[in-house]
Homo-oligomer: A and B are copies of this chain.
Amino acid sequence: MSDTRTRILDLANQLTQSRGFNGFSYLDLAAEIGIKNSSIHYHFKAKSDLALAMVDRHRETTAESFARLDHDIDDPRERLLSVVRYFEADLRDGKICLCGMMAAELQSVSEEVRRELALYFRKFQDWLSKQLSEMGYSDPPRAALQFLSALEGSLLLARLQGDVTVVGQALDGFVNG
Protein backbone atom coordinates (compact mmCIF):
# COMPACT_ATOMS: atom_id res chain seq x y z
CA MET A 1 0.00 0.00 0.00
CA SER A 2 1.78 3.09 -1.27
CA ASP A 3 1.74 6.40 0.54
CA THR A 4 0.09 8.05 -2.45
CA ARG A 5 -2.75 5.58 -2.36
CA THR A 6 -3.38 6.42 1.28
CA ARG A 7 -3.26 10.14 0.59
CA ILE A 8 -5.80 9.72 -2.19
CA LEU A 9 -8.11 7.77 0.09
CA ASP A 10 -7.73 10.32 2.89
CA LEU A 11 -8.49 13.25 0.62
CA ALA A 12 -11.37 11.49 -1.16
CA ASN A 13 -12.82 10.67 2.24
CA GLN A 14 -12.70 14.28 3.38
CA LEU A 15 -14.15 15.61 0.14
CA THR A 16 -16.96 13.06 0.17
CA GLN A 17 -17.86 14.05 3.72
CA SER A 18 -18.03 17.73 2.80
CA ARG A 19 -19.11 17.87 -0.87
CA GLY A 20 -20.37 14.36 -1.56
CA PHE A 21 -18.81 11.65 -3.72
CA ASN A 22 -20.10 13.37 -6.87
CA GLY A 23 -18.84 16.72 -5.63
CA PHE A 24 -15.19 16.22 -6.54
CA SER A 25 -13.21 14.94 -9.54
CA TYR A 26 -9.97 13.10 -10.15
CA LEU A 27 -8.57 16.48 -11.19
CA ASP A 28 -9.47 17.90 -7.77
CA LEU A 29 -7.65 15.04 -6.06
CA ALA A 30 -4.63 15.36 -8.36
CA ALA A 31 -4.31 19.12 -7.91
CA GLU A 32 -4.46 18.93 -4.13
CA ILE A 33 -2.04 16.02 -3.86
CA GLY A 34 0.34 17.45 -6.45
CA ILE A 35 0.24 14.74 -9.11
CA LYS A 36 -1.59 14.27 -12.43
CA ASN A 37 -5.05 12.78 -12.73
CA SER A 38 -3.68 9.84 -14.71
CA SER A 39 -1.72 8.90 -11.60
CA ILE A 40 -4.96 8.71 -9.64
CA HIS A 41 -6.25 6.30 -12.28
CA TYR A 42 -3.17 4.15 -11.73
CA HIS A 43 -4.21 3.60 -8.09
CA PHE A 44 -7.95 3.47 -8.72
CA LYS A 45 -8.75 2.51 -12.30
CA ALA A 46 -12.31 3.81 -12.12
CA LYS A 47 -13.93 6.19 -9.67
CA SER A 48 -16.23 3.37 -8.59
CA ASP A 49 -13.13 1.49 -7.42
CA LEU A 50 -12.20 4.49 -5.31
CA ALA A 51 -15.67 4.54 -3.77
CA LEU A 52 -15.49 0.89 -2.84
CA ALA A 53 -11.98 1.13 -1.38
CA MET A 54 -12.94 4.20 0.62
CA VAL A 55 -16.08 2.77 2.18
CA ASP A 56 -14.37 -0.55 2.82
CA ARG A 57 -11.46 1.10 4.61
CA HIS A 58 -13.80 3.30 6.64
CA ARG A 59 -15.82 0.29 7.74
CA GLU A 60 -12.66 -1.41 8.97
CA THR A 61 -11.25 1.59 10.82
CA THR A 62 -14.65 2.15 12.42
CA ALA A 63 -14.68 -1.43 13.67
CA GLU A 64 -11.23 -0.86 15.18
CA SER A 65 -12.41 2.35 16.83
CA PHE A 66 -15.33 0.54 18.42
CA ALA A 67 -13.02 -2.18 19.73
CA ARG A 68 -10.73 0.46 21.19
CA LEU A 69 -13.63 2.24 22.89
CA ASP A 70 -14.81 -1.04 24.37
CA HIS A 71 -11.32 -1.62 25.76
CA ASP A 72 -10.51 1.88 26.98
CA ILE A 73 -13.79 3.11 28.43
CA ASP A 74 -15.82 1.35 31.10
CA ASP A 75 -19.08 3.29 31.09
CA PRO A 76 -21.17 2.56 27.97
CA ARG A 77 -22.75 6.03 28.21
CA GLU A 78 -19.26 7.53 28.05
CA ARG A 79 -18.54 5.41 24.97
CA LEU A 80 -21.59 6.82 23.23
CA LEU A 81 -20.57 10.31 24.22
CA SER A 82 -17.15 9.70 22.73
CA VAL A 83 -18.71 8.69 19.42
CA VAL A 84 -20.92 11.78 19.42
CA ARG A 85 -17.91 14.00 20.06
CA TYR A 86 -16.14 12.39 17.10
CA PHE A 87 -18.97 13.35 14.74
CA GLU A 88 -19.19 16.83 16.25
CA ALA A 89 -15.50 17.37 15.53
CA ASP A 90 -15.98 16.51 11.85
CA LEU A 91 -19.03 18.72 11.78
CA ARG A 92 -16.95 21.73 12.80
CA ASP A 93 -15.04 21.22 9.54
CA GLY A 94 -18.29 21.01 7.58
CA LYS A 95 -18.02 17.23 7.34
CA ILE A 96 -20.90 14.83 7.95
CA CYS A 97 -20.87 11.02 8.17
CA LEU A 98 -19.14 9.49 5.14
CA CYS A 99 -21.66 6.68 4.82
CA GLY A 100 -24.62 8.93 5.54
CA MET A 101 -23.54 11.11 2.66
CA MET A 102 -23.17 8.15 0.34
CA ALA A 103 -26.53 6.80 1.47
CA ALA A 104 -28.02 10.08 0.21
CA GLU A 105 -26.19 9.60 -3.09
CA LEU A 106 -27.28 5.98 -3.23
CA GLN A 107 -28.54 6.08 -6.82
CA SER A 108 -25.08 6.84 -8.17
CA VAL A 109 -23.05 4.13 -6.46
CA SER A 110 -22.64 0.49 -7.42
CA GLU A 111 -24.47 -2.41 -5.86
CA GLU A 112 -21.19 -3.46 -4.24
CA VAL A 113 -20.84 -0.12 -2.49
CA ARG A 114 -24.46 -0.30 -1.36
CA ARG A 115 -23.77 -3.60 0.29
CA GLU A 116 -20.73 -2.10 2.05
CA LEU A 117 -22.84 0.82 3.25
CA ALA A 118 -25.56 -1.47 4.53
CA LEU A 119 -22.91 -3.51 6.34
CA TYR A 120 -21.41 -0.38 7.90
CA PHE A 121 -24.74 0.67 9.35
CA ARG A 122 -25.58 -2.84 10.53
CA LYS A 123 -22.28 -3.06 12.42
CA PHE A 124 -22.82 0.43 13.80
CA GLN A 125 -26.29 -0.51 14.99
CA ASP A 126 -25.02 -3.75 16.51
CA TRP A 127 -22.38 -1.92 18.49
CA LEU A 128 -24.84 0.74 19.65
CA SER A 129 -27.24 -2.01 20.64
CA LYS A 130 -24.60 -3.56 22.88
CA GLN A 131 -23.96 -0.28 24.65
CA LEU A 132 -27.66 0.45 25.13
CA SER A 133 -28.18 -3.06 26.42
CA GLU A 134 -25.57 -2.45 29.12
CA MET A 135 -27.36 0.78 29.92
CA GLY A 136 -30.55 -1.11 30.63
CA TYR A 137 -32.65 -0.32 27.58
CA SER A 138 -35.53 -2.75 27.20
CA ASP A 139 -35.31 -3.04 23.40
CA PRO A 140 -31.66 -2.33 22.53
CA PRO A 141 -31.83 -2.97 18.75
CA ARG A 142 -34.77 -0.60 18.47
CA ALA A 143 -33.08 2.04 20.60
CA ALA A 144 -29.91 1.64 18.53
CA LEU A 145 -31.86 2.30 15.33
CA GLN A 146 -33.35 5.40 16.91
CA PHE A 147 -29.91 6.60 18.01
CA LEU A 148 -28.44 6.03 14.57
CA SER A 149 -31.33 7.72 12.75
CA ALA A 150 -31.23 10.71 15.06
CA LEU A 151 -27.47 10.98 14.65
CA GLU A 152 -27.53 10.91 10.84
CA GLY A 153 -30.46 13.29 10.57
CA SER A 154 -29.10 15.73 13.12
CA LEU A 155 -25.79 15.96 11.24
CA LEU A 156 -27.68 17.29 8.21
CA LEU A 157 -29.65 19.77 10.30
CA ALA A 158 -26.68 20.88 12.39
CA ARG A 159 -24.51 21.64 9.38
CA LEU A 160 -27.31 23.50 7.62
CA GLN A 161 -27.99 25.63 10.67
CA GLY A 162 -24.33 26.04 11.53
CA ASP A 163 -25.01 24.81 15.03
CA VAL A 164 -23.03 21.81 16.24
CA THR A 165 -25.07 21.54 19.45
CA VAL A 166 -28.04 20.28 17.43
CA VAL A 167 -26.47 16.81 17.44
CA GLY A 168 -26.27 16.69 21.22
CA GLN A 169 -29.85 17.92 21.49
CA ALA A 170 -31.11 15.26 19.09
CA LEU A 171 -29.37 12.54 21.12
CA ASP A 172 -30.15 14.09 24.48
CA GLY A 173 -32.11 11.18 25.92
CA PHE A 174 -29.35 8.68 25.11
CA VAL A 175 -26.25 10.42 26.37
CA ASN A 176 -27.77 12.22 29.38
CA GLY A 177 -30.05 11.54 32.35
Contact = CB atoms under 8 A, between A and B. Distances in A.
A26 interface: no
Nearest to A121: B157
Interface residues of A, number: 39
Contact of A157 (B19, B101, B148, B170): B148
Nearest to A22: B22
A103 B145 CA distance: 21
Given A22-B23, A170-B146, A106 B152 contact: no
A82 interface: no
Number of copies of this kind of chain in the complex: 2
Nearest to A146: B170
Contacts of A156: 100, 103-104, 152-153
Contacts of A94: 107
A89 interface: no
Interface of A: 18-20, 22-23, 94, 96, 100-101, 103-108, 114, 117-118, 121, 142, 145-146, 148-154, 156-157, 159-161, 166, 169-170, 172-173
18 contacts: A19-B108, A20-B20, A20-B22, A20-B104, A23-B107, A94-B107, A96-B104, A100-B104, A100-B153, A103-B156, A103-B159, A118-B160, A142-B172, A145-B166, A145-B170, A149-B153, A150-B170, A152-B157
Given A20-B104, A149-B170, 19 more contacts: A19-B108, A23-B105, A23-B108, A103-B156, A103-B157, A104-B105, A106-B159, A118-B161, A121-B161, A142-B172, A145-B166, A145-B169, A146-B172, A148-B157, A149-B151, A149-B166, A151-B153, A152-B152, A153-B153
